[in-house]
Amino acid sequence: MTARDTVALRALQALTATQRGRDLAPRLDLLRGTGVRHVVHRMRHGLHRGEIAPGVKHAVYRRIWSDAAAALGADILEELPGGILEIGHGPARTRVFEQTVALDDAVTLRLAIDKRTVHQLLLRARVPVPVHRDFTRDDPARGLEFLAREPGPCVVKAATGTGGGDGTTCGVRTAEDLTRAAMRAGRRSDTLLIERQARGSVYRLLFLDDRLLDVVCQSSPTVDGDGTSTVEELIRAENRRRARAGGADGIYPLRVDLDCLLTLSHAGLALGSVPAAGARCTVKIATNEARVEDCRTARDELCDAIVEDAHTAVRTLGVRLAGVDLVTADPSRPLRETGGVINEVNGTPALHRHYQVSDRQNLMPVAEPVLAYLLGIEPDEPAAPARFSSSRVRA
């Protein structure tokens, strides 16, 4: 890090003394890393707002729930202000909002987003979780000590109050990386976590009252080189594709953030690099913005020991509709043998990820068994054998 970079970073840190400064500092840091043209493009196309286009997430989930209702012979009775759907089947009624359903209580959902407490409870239950340490936004000393003794890259994230990878930065290797990542995560929480970064693919398991419904595997987001376009241009092209698809190829844009900049830098690349034609280039480590091509169904890949660890995590937290995110380099072996870990147990799991897979002929329409359960409808086994009878989808 040059003397100029050191001065700039200290100036940005000084901004974080106020809430407005905490919001502004990571944006200025991104500007420093990408240049003005990228930030102008990002603002012009609304990529700073979250969804690939306004209302896309709600539209995707409305389709998911509408299709599930039709498959079960249920009806969407009303769409309430704010996007809540009331669905009925005979005298039974339930309400859903995007991926949120009327099952888990508010205390359980609050517990699930407290990553530090979740790690503690899962460790107590002998479930493998990342080696980690908490530290505060204003005093990174504990985080720096952890980083100094770790042989490989680390992950920095908010300790509570976030989901969907919001504010998470992977590939943290230096004190400068940690300072920048802490500014980014510190927008959401005073308390932060630094974790040893696990190697492998991310598997997302969906449970309903302790029954495993589906498993999908997500790799890190990639773009495919054409020999003429820069990495930044390839990312923009992917985002245009997602916008044209109306959410079917991804609800969220592939954003250039600190995770992206560190991933490219470690690979010896930059936003202006031109990958060779046909070369697949990893542009981030965190998988939440992965392309459809980077996701697949994986119901038959995980060994029984991994599935049992996920079951234990769900039972420990008492979450009824739960998404378990785990990382493993070898799904055929127990997590303890490979250094695999369970990263999170989500109380409002991203159901759409089970639909946005590359092998769509094998996708599991997970909203159907969830809605059937909410409405008390007995599943029609002949009509949906894969949903309830797969060897890896078990009670």
Q: pLDDT value at position 41?
A: 60
124-156: per-residue pLDDT in tens? 999 999 999 999 988 889 999 999 998 889 999
pLDDT tens digits, residue range 256-305?
Answer: 999 999 999 999 999 999 999 999 999 999 999 999 999 999 999 999 99
Give pTM, 2 decimals: 0.88
Average pLDDT, the chain: 88
Predicted confidence (pLDDT) at residue 6 exceeds the cutoff of 50? yes
User: Quick one: pLDDT band at residue 386, thresholds 50, 70, 90?
Assistant: very low
**137, burial (CB in 10 Å: exposed 0-12, middle 13-18, buried 19+):** buried
Residue entry with tokens 């209702």: 69
Place of tokens 């590939």: 171
Residue 314 structure tokens? 């769900």
99-113 mean pLDDT: 96
Identify the pLDDT of residue 382: 35
pLDDT, position 205: 98
Q: Is the pLDDT of residue 360 over 90?
A: yes
DSSP 292-314: GGGEEE-TTTS-HHHHHHHHHHH
Question: Is the pLDDT confidence value at 3 over 90?
Answer: no
CA 329 to chain centre: 18
Tell me the pLDDT tens digit for each residue of 32-50. Answer: 777 666 666 665 655 555 6
Question: Average of pLDDT values for 177-195?
Answer: 91
- Domain residue limits, the chain: 227-289
Task: With cut-offs at 50, 70 and 90, classify the pLDDT of residue 82.
Answer: confident
How many other CB atoms are there within 10 angstroms of residue 221's CB atom? 26
